[in-house]
Amino acid sequence: MTQTMPQQMWHRQSRHICWLMAALVVAGLAAGDALPFLYTNTRAAINWTQPQLDEWKIEAQPRSVVPHVQFKYHANRTNSEPADSDAEFLERLRALRQNRSSARMLWYDAAAGDGLTYPPFVDKALKLFNLKQVAFEIENSVLSKVSCTACKAGAGLLQHYIKSGKTDAELMKMIAQYCTNLNIQSPRVCEGVAQLFGSEVIYVLQRVNLGPDELCSFIIGDGCGDVYNPYHEWEVIFPPVPKPPRLAELPIPLEAAPFFKVLHISDTHYDPHYVEGANADCNEPLCCRLSSGRPANPNAAAGKWGDYRKCDTPKRTVDNMLAHIADTHKDIDYILWTGDLPPHDVWNQTKQENLEIIKETVKQMTEKFPGVPIFPALGNHESAPVNSFPPPYVNQVDISINWLYDELDVQWRRWLPQSVSHTVRRGAFYSVLVRPGFRIISLNMNYCNNKNWWLLLNSTDPATELQWFIYELQSAEFSNEKVHVIGHIPPGHSDCLKVWSRNFYKIISRYESTITAQFYGHTHFDEFEMFYDPHDLTHPNSIAYIGPSVSPYYDLNPGYRIYYVDGDHDTTTRLVIDHESWIMNLKEANLYGYPIWYKLYTARAAYNMQALRPNDWDKLLNDLTDNQELFEMYYKNYWKNSPARPTCDAECKKRMLCDCKSGRSHDRRHFCADVESKIDEGSSKSWKSWFYRGLTNSTGEQQTEEQNNTEFNEFGVSDVVFGVFG
């Protein structure tokens, strides 16, 4: 069955949680003695204790205070180079077609139905909890009361079994068995998930005094109620320095002034085990591997350059993209690299394999872009298991995250100054003075990740990252520096903890005159996110650029971004002047045997924007709400012009534009009421207009028939009414 846009658009990951919960729910239904525990209205009070104080002193750490980069001079450089015309692009495709050695069309073909027969007690569970809906919702970060109910049932059961004295091995075996018996995933995926994630989840739940309500409110957010508990209610502290007066309107960057050309690469998800011709339509979270089995028909075979189905990026595609960028954009000044390097085979990843992928991709970037500064940020897939980022106070050797952060320090040091080593090893975040008056701060957004189970122990500013962020921003304000912030998970995304996002939002508002742009990845789509003054929602104060993924996972074309940033001159704003999105049409690449990368759009030209200041993006957001034709262009660009993109109805449009407006997670009601009401009103007007236009046309045609005595009457009033109500 073809899925609609609201079903497909949200980020595809973190399946381990839904598999664990689904298996546990049915386990509970099979074990009748556990059911009374699940549905009791009483729960133990939260036994909150003050967490151990962190001895880390922010002000004692070394800082990057000497400009780190000397950019090359590019004479006569412009950011207005013309792209290929449609005719030129088609001509290149024709040339490829004439020279191709083999051709195979890659089509997307969704299978209908699963044909599974469940035993009676499992069928009862599916009716009660709709486990397939739960699995889909958690997989795609769109969570409803169905997922909330299942979460509470699964969490309650697991806590019950832990208290009853079952061993870790017994619990993990039980999870794997039920996952397999229910056909939630293949046996090896179920076994891998149970082994990789089960021990971590059990470890955490053994040490928290939270009931199912608190646990699921933490994991799911607003879809499961806003349950108070002191571990997840905290505030950052701002220095006693008055906020500088804000400008009535930010100046537009000078058109002829020097600029920086910046490459943004995100979500590579390089799969070293991708095999052309392997099964792309398997029953596991990642396909296109030898282990995926033989394709059932030629249409199910993985393409040479990638696939629109659940497949990550083959090495040849990454190599080709980097070679294309190095050849096409020879004047790149620096690169933003916002994480997610390993593939989506989250059930069988190891620390060693993930480290090898990090080393290989770092080597690849260094060789393709020698001498070009690269500023990386950490994704949620770099850890093994995925999303597992224990804070510094979790320092046992077998569960500490030091294995990853220490290696990142080694790999990143080729681009970063020695002064950032301490914060990279502590929490994989850093601050670098790039040029005089211009700083880049890279944040580890996994400390806001609500799939990071370690934060259940205590989510209060993990690794003291946000307090350090304030210290860096205040120092930048004192030094009259402008700051670009980079990270992986956008702070307004539903994967970001509400309390962390709320504190971050306050920081952005306080330092709006210092922070001139933010850059993230994670969603795989081409989009943006707005920030407003919390006390004045009519005042937009920051913009977050969310770059497209290199990985086609799934239903997407591979892509990357180019930004033009106000450069070194006396009146520089350090704002983004313009940006371009470049893509490769995956279907055409597999058809003709060779990929062509081309510029999909340029922001200011495509959306008729005066500049890219926050108020310009706010105006665009209003235009997208009111102008359906403009929204359809944005929707095409959002999906990177993928031929596999689904349709978008009014509900889909509301979700997309609310995402743009909500830089603060799990707070849609606060930001989206006006957007939703306008879209609802527009949908109503559109329907009425269509209906009355039909009536008018029908009447006009009848009058024409009477006057001219024509033979045909194409539309009558009764036809129109029947078409609407029949």
Place 139 in a pLDDT band, splitting at 50, 70 and 90. low
Asked if residue 615 belongs to a known ligand binding site, the reply is: no
Q: Across all residues in the chain, what is the average pLDDT?
A: 83
Position 383 scores a pLDDT of: 96
Sort strands 334-337 and 374-376 into parallel, antiparallel or unpaired. Answer: parallel
Most confident of the ranges 161-170, 215-224, 463-472: 463-472
Position 403 scores a pLDDT of: 96
**Is pLDDT of 666 > 70?**
yes
Asked if residue 526 belongs to a known ligand binding site, the reply is: no
Place 228 in a pLDDT band, splitting at 50, 70 and 90. confident
**Is pLDDT of 237 > 90?**
yes
CA neighbours closer than 13 Å in the CB half-sphere of residue 658? 24
Most confident of the ranges 107-121, 281-295, 655-669: 281-295
Q: Percent of the chain at pLDDT above 90? A: 58
Place 47 in a pLDDT band, splitting at 50, 70 and 90. very low
Q: What is the pTM of this model?
A: 0.83
User: Within its chain, how far is the Cα of 638 from the centroid?
Assistant: 12
Q: Which amino acid is at 601?
A: Y
Asked if residue 340 belongs to a known ligand binding site, the reply is: yes
Asked if residue 579 belongs to a known ligand binding site, the reply is: no
Asked if residue 273 belongs to a known ligand binding site, the reply is: no
Asked if residue 345 belongs to a known ligand binding site, the reply is: no
Q: What angle do CA 312, 318, 324 make, to 5 degrees?
A: 140
Query: In terms of pLDDT, which residue wins out, 514 or 49?
Result: 514
- pLDDT for 554-576, tens place per residue? 999 999 999 999 999 999 999 99
Structural domains in the chain, CATH included, are 120-224 (no CATH), 259-274+312-677 (3.60.21.10)
259-265 β-sheet, strand order: 374-376, 334-337, 259-265, 559-566, 576-584, 597-602
Place 24 in a pLDDT band, splitting at 50, 70 and 90. low
Only one residue has tokens 């040490």, namely 207
**Is pLDDT of 145 > 80?**
no
- pLDDT for 366-395, tens place per residue? 999 999 999 999 999 999 999 999 999 888
Query: In terms of pLDDT, which residue wins out, 151 or 640?
Result: 640
- pLDDT for 70-98, tens place per residue? 877 776 676 665 555 555 655 655 555 55
**Is pLDDT of 250 > 80?**
yes
**Is pLDDT of 717 > 50?**
no
* CB 239 within 8 Å of CB 474: yes
Cα–Cα distance for residue pair 160/217, rounded to 1 Å: 19
Nearest alpha carbon to residue 571 among 345, 320, 255: 255
Mean local confidence (pLDDT), 402-407: 97
Asked if residue 524 belongs to a known ligand binding site, the reply is: yes
Position 221 scores a pLDDT of: 75
- pLDDT for 180-226, tens place per residue? 887 778 899 999 988 888 888 889 999 988 888 888 888 887 778 77
Mean local confidence (pLDDT), 395-400: 84
**Is pLDDT of 524 > 50?**
yes
* CB 521 within 8 Å of CB 477: no
Q: Residue 560, SS3?
A: strand
For the record, the structure tokens of 14 come out as 């973190």
Q: In DSSP terms, which residues pair with 432 in a beta bridge? A: 440
Cα–Cα distance for residue pair 454/462, rounded to 1 Å: 10
- Of 38-47, 267-276, 486-495, 637-646, the range with the lowest mean pLDDT is 38-47
